[in-house]
Amino acid sequence: MALCNLCEEHEAVVWRRYSGVRLCKSCFTQSIEQNVKRTIRRHAMISKNDRIALGLSGGKDSVSIMHLLNQITENRPDIELIAITIDEGIKDYRNESIPIAEKNAKQLGIEHKIVSFKETYGYILDDLLVLTKSQKRRLKACAYCGVFRRSLLNRAARELGATKVVTGHNLDDDVQAILMNFMRSDIERESRLGPKTEPRHSKLVARVKPLREVPEREVALYALLNEIEVHLGECPYAGESFRQVIRNWLNEVEVKYPGTKYSILRGFDKLLPTLKEKFGHPPLQECKYCGEPTQYKVCKACELLQKLKT
Amino acid sequence: MEIPIKIKYFSEITETKVEEGSTVEDVVKKLGFNLETVVVKLNEKIVTEDAKVKTNDELTIIRVITGG
Ligand SMILES: [Zn+2]
Ligand SMILES: [Zn+2]
């Protein structure tokens, strides 16, 4: 059995091919905590007296970052954490993950709010898809879900008086998004993929991604090794998405050429200041239906809802 | 020479045979999984993928990367 390269005492549980290092459970756990702390510090993700709203799905990413943040802010009485779970209304998926989200928040003593598509938009995601199918205007499930979820998380965070929104995006998530935006030639969206999204409107809460430099597999390993209960189920709509194709391809490349994911992120981070300067400042206005900030007269969520009614 | 091992996936156990001297990585690849998407336990302990499997070992495959 291989020993940990750091303590040279315990058996390794992970072999990071991108760096050649093997780590045992305790050295690995420490390295994840250091990784997250470094990202938070480097991008000034947390400031004094922050009230941090965490988007908590119950999956490995959001549950792990909640545990990590709880620990990192342990000696910061000025920092408050609250968890927000969005219930999209996906049968056999959310009814499994929400109880896990609740349990973890309770265990850590973190205030927890659940807000649903149903109470906000009048539909659950499953209904939306059936409706749109019959109208032959069916968008991909993920497009709907993403638009509503992003809008609702921001709105709930703002209403709870949050000064930051933390999401569980990991290295894989961001690298996939970087590639997807590029492949769709959506450079405006690309310019907003940084570690920290500063609010461009008074109704937007700043969003930060402290797990951005942790590979997805290592987030899962962190949860497993530390016996954190997470929901590993698969979203029933996942198979439909372009993202899934990119995810599989990226994992194949990473196995053959370890370090590719980090390399794509580093390259993107070099481009980011230029992208932001050139594409990052479209003026925002308030949606004429719901009042949420948007680039157009009607926000994407209301646009989709309008389509359903006509 | 081939040796018998057990594979546990979603609490279902199946038996299979692999070449003697195979590593966890060899077995995972043979079963069609991508290493970036699984965590593997060998006899209930999480191991690195270069660990060797022996006769009657039990390999648990945990799929940690899915959609959504
Ligand atoms: Zn160690
Ligand atoms: Zn609107």
CATH class of B2-63: alpha beta
Q: What is the sign, positive or negative, of the torsion defined by CA atoms of A288, A290, A296, A298?
A: negative
Task: Return the closest-CA partner of residue A49 out of A80, A11, A15.
Answer: A80
Mean pLDDT of B11-22: 95
Whether pLDDT at A254 is above 80: yes
Q: Is A200 exposed, middle or buried (0-12, 13-18, 19+ CB in 10 A)?
A: middle
Q: Which residues of A touch B11 (CB under 8 A)?
A: none
Ligand 1 mean position to A37 CA, how many Å? 19
The per-residue pLDDT for B68 is 42
The answer to whether A251 faces chain B, any CB pair under 8 Å, is yes
Residue A247 sits at φ, ψ, to 5 deg, of -60, -50
Say which CATH architecture domain A42-281 belongs to. Answer: 3-Layer(aba) Sandwich (3.40)
Give the pLDDT confidence of A288-299 residue by residue, as tens digits.
999 999 988 999
Mean pLDDT of A103-122: 93
Q: Is residue A90 very low, low, confident or very high in pLDDT (cuts 50, 70, 90)?
A: confident
The per-residue pLDDT for A132 is 63
Mean pLDDT of A165-172: 97
Cβ-nearest to B64 among A1, A13, A60: A60
Mutate to test the interface with A, among B46, B49, B61 (most CBs of A within 10 A): B46
Task: Return the closest-CA partner of residue A87 out of A63, A121, A111.
Answer: A121
Cross-strand pairs, A196: A208
3-state helix, strand, coil in chain B (%, to 5): 15, 45, 40
* ipTM > 0.90 for the complex: yes
Q: How far apart are CA A61 and CA A230, in angstroms?
A: 9
> Could A22 and B66 be called an inter-chain contact, meaning their C-beta atoms sit closer than 8 Å?
no
CA distances from A75 to A26, A47, A68, A69, A71 (A): 21, 14, 13, 11, 8
Mean pLDDT of A239-265: 91
Whether pLDDT at A230 is above 90: yes
Cβ-nearest to B67 among A221, A244, A254: A244
Q: Residues of chain A with pLDDT > 90: what percent? A: 73
The per-residue pLDDT for A136 is 46
Cβ-nearest to A12 among B35, B37, B48: B48
Across A30-34, A147-151, A152-156, B24-28, least confident range: A147-151
The per-residue pLDDT for A281 is 74
Q: Please give the single-letter amino acid code of residue A81.
A: L
Whether pLDDT at B63 is above 70: yes
Cross-strand pairs, B45: B42
- Domain boundaries along the sequence of chain A: 42-281
Q: Is residue B67 very low, low, confident or very high in pLDDT (cuts 50, 70, 90)?
A: low
Whether pLDDT at A35 is above 60: yes
Ligand 2 mean position to A303 CA, how many Å? 7
